[in-house]
Amino acid sequence: MKLQKILSRFLKLHKKEIDLSLDRINRLCEKLGNPQDKIKAISVVGTNGKNSTIQACFSILKESNIKCNVFTSPHIQKINERFVFNNEQLKDDELADLFEEVEKINDNKPITFFEILTACYFFKAAQYPDNINLIESGLFHRFDATNILKKKLSKYSNIYFNRSPRLASKKMSKQLIKLFLKKLQLF
């Protein structure tokens, strides 16, 4: 119940579900001490197969005794599925405490639901600096809140230009190609 009340407040922080800008997530993460700069991540981008790719990587890393944090979207049954730390989903009370802490720091500033969830994830993930973070990214990664990561390796699953007219434009195609060719800062 407590968790649902917090999530309801999160949904009211911004009038739009999607608002293509990284300004809000950058602002909040700066207030949180830039936790995204303290983690190592593998970003998985694409139209199909992101979650399967993440689950395969997670399984391989766990078998190799490597601790992981996982951030995916959407969830199937409970929002806890999106928040895996040290190979375990957060419990309801742990997740509620995390959300309340970040909510207080955000101070009712406008931010989308996904952006504040992402900031919560980064904030918690920074507590496990040696873990590998497996992060699902959308919107071709460019406008996704997870794209503020510094230490990342990107893995692309299948990409199709069928999501929306906004993503299927020639301009977006050129941006995607630039993203593929960009030299990544690795671990």
Buried b (16+ CB within 10 A) or exposed e, 33-58: eebbeebbbbbbbbbeebbebbeebb
Domain boundaries along the sequence of the chain:
2-15+38-181
**CATH no., domain 2-15+38-181:** 3.40.1190.10
Tell whether the model's pLDDT for residue 33 goes beyond 90: yes
Q: What is the pLDDT of residues 124-153, one digit of tens each?
A: 999 999 999 999 987 656 778 988 888 766
What pTM did the predictor assign?
A: 0.83
Q: What is the pLDDT of residues 97-128, one digit of tens each?
A: 999 999 999 999 999 999 999 999 999 999 99
Residue 180: count of CB within 10 angstroms of its CB = 11
Q: What is the pLDDT of residues 169-178, one digit of tens each?
A: 555 545 544 5
Determine the distance from the C-alpha atom of residue 143 to the mean position of all C-alpha atoms in its chain, rounded to a whole number. Answer: 12
Backbone angles phi, psi at 68, to 5 degrees: -130, 155
Q: What is the pLDDT of residue 186?
A: 37
